[in-house]
Structure 1
Amino acid sequence: MPRRSRTDKSRWYRPVALVTDMLGAGVPVAFLFQDARQPHTPLATLTVCVAWLCVLTVHQRYGLRRLGETRGLLPTLHDWLTLVGLLAMLRVVTGESSPPAVALLAVTPAPVLTALCRSLTHRHLVAQRRQAHAVHRALVVGEAGPVDRVVAQLASRTDHPYVVIGAVHVGEVPSHSGVPEAGQLEAAPSGGDGDGQAVLAAARSHSAGTVLVVPGSLLCGERLRALSWAVQDAGLPLVIASGLADVALRRVRPATAAGLHLLHVEPPVRRGPQMVVKSALDRLGAALGLVALAPLLGLIALVVRLDSAGPALYRQTRVGHRGVPFTMWKFRSMAPGADLLRAGLDAVNEVDGPLFKMRADPRVTRVGRVLRRTSLDELPQLVNVLRGEMSLVGPRPPLPAEVAAYERPALRRLLVKPGLTGPWQVSGRSDLSWDETLALDLRYADNWSLTGDLDLLARTMRAVVDGRGAY
């Protein structure tokens, strides 16, 4: 049997997905229907299995291009709602008489197991791509400046399928991308098929599997179209970089006008029904959390008081939504008067930008280290969420001194409420540089969605257990 190519995804993705989906749909139905002594249990089990697999197949969930690319939370929910609607129609047509509550409960585990399987597959694929497996060897074509930006953007993350193996530059301007020079095109088109032949020769010599074109002033219009013909006629996949970065795909809608291909970009969600739902869920979640965690909150407060002199809670002014300051609450993790010692520690700051972090901060108490390691010191911020000053999910709330040092792009992170957890907390926390932190926050602020918040909340549990970057 031939070995799997380094550019291919693992062969087990599809069979594991199929088996998981069949078990997730069939086993609960068989168990609950048998327990409820419903007739035709085998037929009901087979029907649900076939219906679930058909829904997923019709929605192309088993395509190799899609498997592993996302965690699948929102698509799986959409598929499950389709399944419920389909089964409801079958009940009406066939006269199936099982109790609706039993029937609905029986099909509930299916999307849970499916989403869990897709999440694990996604994590495996991301880990594979960190080792340069399951990637496309891309040859980038374009002017030096745009090519440098695209190469830098692709190199900044490993959760995508492209690895740049060479570049064909248009014009005489030197490149600073650091990728191998695979060829060069003249600034002015030479006529004929010279561009195509040069790019194809570079693709063959570097074993490229994809040609990624970055349009620009020297590579557009008829020249770009002729190049695309040459590449596609040779059987190579062609990818065009739009120039957009960090814009969620759901906000982009392709269109045509007068033969031009246009991309409509929807504005970020800042108001409307979704924000009302987010606010309601925030306050409901905070209220339930405070009630459920009340014994733990009391115990932590007692331990903090016994460990060192001073109050159990620490209040600090932070900057919130649209620059409005508010008082944020935390369990005290430092010795009293720690703020007065802050200025003397600037020389040993371990992060760049306006942030301040130290792995072995001498101001942190013994209990404080445990609280920070487990993020339990943040729990009193549920009160801030209940009061509407914070959200369950969002960027970390900055200090006024940090905001005063912000450049203009960083101010966009204030367009959403700060969060109890968020992209910073699940991506490495204090191990991240300021630029990495800012990029995560801006991506969140511009591409916010309810399903994205649910995903971040789920990933928060793993981040808390892992404890990476918590100090």
Structure 2
Amino acid sequence: MTKIGWINFIVDTIFILFLFTIFPFQLGHVWRLVVLYALIQVMLGRYRDNVLLIWDEIQKILISHFCFFIVSLLFFRITQWHEVLYLVLITFIAAFFCLLFSRYSHIWFRPLFKKNVMIIGMGHTAAQLASTIEHNRFALMDVRAFINCNNSSLLPHAYQQEKIVEADNVFLLDNLEQIVQKEKITTVIVAIPQLVSSDIEILMNILGKMVNEIKVLPRTESLVTFDSRIDDFDGLLLISTAKSEISLFSCFMKRVVDILGGFVGCLMLIPLYWIVRHKNHKEGDFGPVLFKQTRIGKDGREFTIYKFRTMVMNAEQKLEELMEKDPAIREEYLTNKKLKNDPRITRAGKFLREKSLDEFPQFINVLKGEMTLIGPRPYLPREIEDMGDFYYTIIRMKPGLTGMWQTHGRSDVDFKSRLELDDYYFRNYSLWLDVTLFIRTVKTIIGGSDETAR
């Protein structure tokens, strides 16, 4: 249990004791229930150092409190209805309090308990890792240094051609020991996926004497996911690959949620349609409010997608004209399949896109069963060739109204990265992942950005 884990444990236990004293339970029950609550929280890993995201903490809190409620009913003589109701209220209040205190304790005590982190690498992976740490205060990490492994006597075969990280705290690998001491580094993360095992072993041997914790971002090529299993086969480490299909229960629950969400979304679409229509007419745009387009669905079947029209009429024709006149625009579109500052977007369309409201008519597709609330991006038929092998993974699920791409960068993510995110979503799918992506989508719509730290 970590130091901040002890703080959370003590505060949570005192709070649950307080709740049981203000509700009329028998005194013997109170102490046994408090002990049971504390044991379940510890046994389910609530206070360990392996929780890096607030989403993981929420999941652990929900599971631990649900288990506490069920075990309390099974093993204690709580037979009166008012006591059952009190237990329900106590469980909900305790879970909500634990979530709030866990979040804010990581903020309040961050200066005391944060880890000074050194990142080995200066490429895209290192930059992405540093950005995630910067926007994720819950992990209690503070990046103090990056290490450039190029031209090093320690790793003569390691070389990063693409240098993304441009900062004052980039140092040479040969000065590793001095930097660890100067910056008081406690955690090192190796963020060069292309390193071979012999290079990683050299780094482990060097760093093992200097720091308490070493983490590695491996090059897995999608073979290892959160559903992979590590087995000890009589001294040999075996990794069982990820699932290839989503369970029938998950499919059923996903469809139930889609029907409910699609129905509510279509009701909300009605007033939004008339608002957008009114705004377009004020700007002198009397074209159709909705835009229809053919997209790729599950198993490669094509379907008609509905969106709010956010561009001027004859947008495809004007795109061809723009690409013909400006080679830079042609290169940008062919690379990313979209333009960052697209001159074809209307004033009303710009607002709809910023708030992700242009996707609202897709609730119709969700209700029809052609799409799902959370899923891969609905790609265009002309993009199949550019999708490569990712195509065969992505079409195994219905396309989603929102998903990994929309909550992990949106317009700042290039085409290949979108494919990788959608591939990740399929290989690591769970109902909980849908919940976290839904919450992040709501935060994006309300706040215009997504921050894992807040």
Are the counterparts in 2 of residues 333 and 368 from structure 1 also a CA contact under 8 Å?
yes
Equivalenced residues, count: 417
User: Which residue of 1 is the match for residue 137 of structure 2?
Assistant: none
Contact 1:421 1:460 in 2 (8 A): yes
1:318-467 superposed matches below 5 A: 318-346=295-323, 347=326, 349=329, 353-359=335-341, 361-409=342-390, 412-467=393-448
Task: Compare 449-458 and 253-262 and name the one that shifted more.
Answer: 253-262
Residue identity matched to 1:317: T
**AA at the equivalent of 2:117:** H
Is the 2:355–2:444 contact (alpha carbons within 8 Å) kept by the matching residues of 1?
no
Who is 1:188 aligned against?
none
Q: Does 1:88 align with 2:73?
A: yes
Q: Deviations over 1:194-240 (max 9, x none)?
A: xxxxx9899779976567789847579xxx6x997887578865556
5 Å-filtered alignment, 1:300-319, equals 300=275, 302-303=277-278, 306-307=281-282, 308-319=285-296
Match of 2:63 among 74, 78, 81: 78
Is 1:279 the counterpart of 2:255? The answer is yes
Residue 157 of structure 1 is matched in structure 2 by 129
**CA distance in 2 between partners of 1:105 and 1:12 (Å):** 27
User: What corresponds to 1:62 in structure 2?
Assistant: 47
In the TM superposition, residue 319 of structure 1 has moved relative to its aligned partner by 1.6
Percent of counterpart pairs with the same letter? 24
Structure 1 gap segments, 5+ residues each? 1-8, 34-38, 141-147, 185-198
Partners of 2:197 and 2:91 in 1: CA distance: 55
Question: How far has the Cα of 1:310 moved from its partner?
Answer: 2.0
1:238-297 residue CA offsets vs partner (Å, 9 max, x unmatched): 556654266776323222234222222322444532223212221222123324x25534
Name the SS of the counterpart of 2:286 in structure 1: coil
The residue type equivalent to 1:114 in the other structure is C
Match in the other structure for 1:256: 232
Structure ranking higher on relative contact order (CA contacts 8 Å, 6+ apart): 2
Determine if contact 1:137/1:207 at 8 Å carries over to the other structure: no
- Once the two structures are superposed, residues 134-188 of structure 1 have per-residue CA deviations (whole angstroms, 9 ceiling, x without a partner) of 34336x6xxxxxxx7x96534432336686536466775462366755359xxxx
Q: Distance in 2 between matches of 1:320 and 1:273?
A: 21
Q: What is the CA RMSD across the aligned residues, in angstroms?
A: 4.3
Tell me the distance in 1 between the aligned counterparts of 2:21 and 2:7: 22
Aligned pairs for 1:85-124 (under 5 A) are 85-92=70-77, 98-115=82-99, 118=102
Question: Contact 1:21–1:113 at 8 Å: present in 2 too?
Answer: no
**Corresponding residue for residue 195 of structure 1:** none
* Map of 1:196 onto structure 2: none
Instruction: Output the CA distance in 1 between the equivalents of 2:234 and 2:39.
Output: 39
Could you tell me how far apart the structure 1 residues matched to 2:178 and 2:48 are?
31
Change (3 A) 1:22 1:379: farther
- Normalised TM-score (structure 1): 0.71
- State whether residues 262 and 363 of structure 2, in contact with CA within 8 Å, keep that contact through their aligned partners in structure 1: yes
Structure 2 CA distance for partners of 1:100 and 1:298, relative to 1, 3 Å:
farther
Indicate the SS of the match to 1:251.
Answer: coil
Most deviating of 59-68 and 444-453? 59-68
1:182 aligns with 2:182: no
Instruction: List gaps (5 residues or longer) in structure 2.
Output: 134-140, 164-169
Structure 2 CA distance for partners of 1:20 and 1:460, relative to 1, 3 Å: farther
**So what's the TM-score if we normalise by structure 2?**
0.74
Q: 2:167: which partner in 1?
A: none
Deviations 1:407-428 (A, max 9, x none): 3346533332211111222223
- 3-state secondary structure, aligned to 2:421: helix
